[in-house]
Chains A and B, each alone.
Chain A
Amino acid sequence: MHEWALAESIITAALEAAEKEHLKTITEIKIGIGELQQIEQDIFEFALNEIIKAHGKKLKNVKISIETEESTLKCKICGHTWSFSDMMKKLNEEESEAIHFIPEVAFVHTRCPKCGSPDFEIITGRGVSIISIKGKR
């Protein structure tokens, strides 16, 4: 249930943003999930709903939508780009689980498939983020 901690981050950040914007109620939160973090969507949604229930009025009728963002990786040495599914083929279960917790350990467990460098970057699809929030003042 590491998804719980991330769901809690989403709700805490959304409530903070609502406070800042003087929103009385939040009507919609659009969440982005990067492929790299391999979030179990069922567990994540369950955690979100449980946390929302505990926050009462402000989030009572909030609509949650979740978009998955594809992960792309790019080598800083040779410029090659590759996808999350290319990367996953070479990982064992433990390595994949480690990336689920800390996406940056991808740099530890994988290499650029073209030149073998560990010096690449996560261009898209890293972790969990809020894409947009809607609410009423």
Chain B
Amino acid sequence: MEVRVSVIKKRLKSIKRIISVASGKGGVGKSLVASTLALNLAEKGHKVGLLDLDLYGPSSHIILGVKDVFPEEEKGIIPPKIHGIKFMSIVYFTEDKPSAFRGIDITNIIIELLAITQWGPLDYLIIDMPPGIGDETLDVIRFIKKGEFLVVTTPSKVAMGAVSKLLKILKELKIPVIGVLENMKMTESSIIEDTVAEIGIPFIGSIFFDKNLEDAIGDGDLLLKTKFMEELGDNLKKTNL
């Protein structure tokens, strides 16, 4: 009999809002939005946690410059604080080596992380999701009953094709979606906004491609000063975050 699932609810009990940053497509900036959203909320004085569930290709630790830290063991594991954010990732346990996992292993890792991580009271837990609607997305929906989604896309029709599928399944399952954020916008076009409106999901807004962003990766202080961060902040004002 699987026992760990029983304790997950208890571990998440003191968290006010759980927001999964997701997309149907890879490379659209999910990890960047998840990490910077966590930074934005922490800067506003909220208690924030960030859980990287991209188990094959975790990258939030690269964006935030997480190095030489390990969770503390105390009735479970307590995530280390990075820029005021309680940060949990599989990288603490993989030493950043290649991680080849099958579906059942993905589910087991997610259950284990949710069962043993002691987040304590949080205003927000941000989850950096892998792309698509596979095991991780299904498990988050299955185990985190009070979760919400924030969906990221790029202006590409190719990306939006896959993102539409995620939006449709979230809508079908009646899972709250804060809205869709269009990242790396380069020209004025309403194609994404129109497609999102057709599906019946709120469109939050756009963030223009920031060519200087790469220089800030790995440094939370520099990230806070980027144009990307400023535009993200403006977009978040249109939401209840």
Do A and B associate with each other? Answer: yes
* A interface residues (Cβ-Cβ under 8 A, vs B): 1-2, 4-6, 8-10, 12-14, 16-17, 94-95, 98, 101-105, 107-109, 118-119, 121, 126-131
- Chain A residues whose CB sits within 8 angstroms of the CB of B6 once the complex forms: 9, 12-13, 16
Q: Is the pair A6, B4 in contact by a Cβ cutoff of 8 Å?
A: yes
| A12 close to B3 (CB less than 8 A) | yes
| In the complex, B141 has a CB within 8 A of chain A | no
**Which residues of B have CB within 8 Å of A126?**
108
> Could you tell me the distance between the alpha carbons of A105 and B98 in the complex, rounded to whole angstroms?
10
A98 near B93 with CB under 8 A, answer yes
B97 within 8 A of A: yes
Tell me the complex Cα distance, A32–B74, Å.
23
* Chain B residues closer than 8 Å to A118, beta-carbon distance: 98, 100
Contact B116 A2 (CB under 8 A): yes
Q: How many A-B residue pairs have CB under 8 A?
A: 100
Whether the Cβ atoms of A108 and B94 lie closer than 8 Å is yes
Tell me whether A2 and B76 are in contact in the complex, defined as CB-CB below 8 angstroms, given that A104-B105, A105-B94, A118-B100 are known contacts: yes
Q: Which residue in chain B gives the minimum CB-CB distance to A32?
A: B1
Q: Which of B73, B105, B108 has the most CB of A within 10 A?
A: B105
Chain B interface extent, by class: 20 to 34
- 23 of the cross-chain contacts (CB-CB < 8 Å) are A2-B77, A5-B7, A5-B77, A6-B3, A8-B7, A9-B4, A16-B6, A17-B1, A98-B93, A101-B77, A102-B90, A102-B112, A104-B105, A104-B108, A104-B109, A108-B97, A109-B95, A109-B97, A118-B98, A118-B100, A127-B4, A127-B112, A130-B3
On whether the beta carbons of B97 and A5 are closer than 8 Å, the reply is no
Contact code string B106-138 (vs A, CB < 8 Å = 1, else 0): 001100110110100000000000000000000
Chain A CB within 10 A, most for which of B5, B6, B77, B115 = B6
Q: Please name 20 further chain A to chain B contacts, defined as beta carbons within 8 Å, in addition to the given A12-B7, A107-B99, sorted by A numbering.
A: A1-B75, A1-B76, A6-B4, A6-B116, A8-B7, A9-B6, A9-B7, A12-B3, A13-B2, A13-B5, A13-B7, A95-B95, A98-B92, A102-B109, A103-B108, A103-B112, A108-B94, A118-B100, A128-B4, A130-B3
Does chain A have a CB within 8 A of B171?
no
Q: Mark B84-103, 1 if CB is under 8 A from A, else 0.
A: 00000010111101111110
By CB atoms of chain B within 10 A, which of A4, A108, A129 has the most?
A108
Cα-based distance from A8 to B118 in the complex (angstroms): 12
Going nearest first, the 3 A-B pairs with the smallest beta carbon separation are A5-B76, A13-B3, A98-B93
B5 contacts across to A, CB distance below 8 A: 13
Pick from B1, B2, B116: contact of A5, CB below 8 A: B116
Q: Is the CB of A9 within 8 A of B75?
A: no
CB distance from B103 to the nearest CB of A (A): 11
A20: shortest Cβ distance to chain B, in Å? 11
Question: In the assembled complex, which residues on chain A have CB atoms less than 8 Å from the CB atom of B168?
Answer: none
| B10 part of interface (Cβ distance < 8 Å) | yes
Chain A residues near B109 (CB-CB < 8 A): 102, 104
B93 touches A5 (CB 8 A): no
Q: A6-B4, A8-B7, A107-B105 are in contact. Are A1 and B73 (CB under 8 A)?
A: yes
Smallest CB gap from B117: residue in A: A5
Please give, as numbers and ranges, the residues of chain B lying within 8 Å of A101 by CB-CB distance.
77, 93, 112, 116
Contacts of A107 in B (CB 8 A): 99-101, 105
- Among candidates A12, A95, A104, A128, residue contacting B10 with C-beta atoms closer than 8 Å: A12
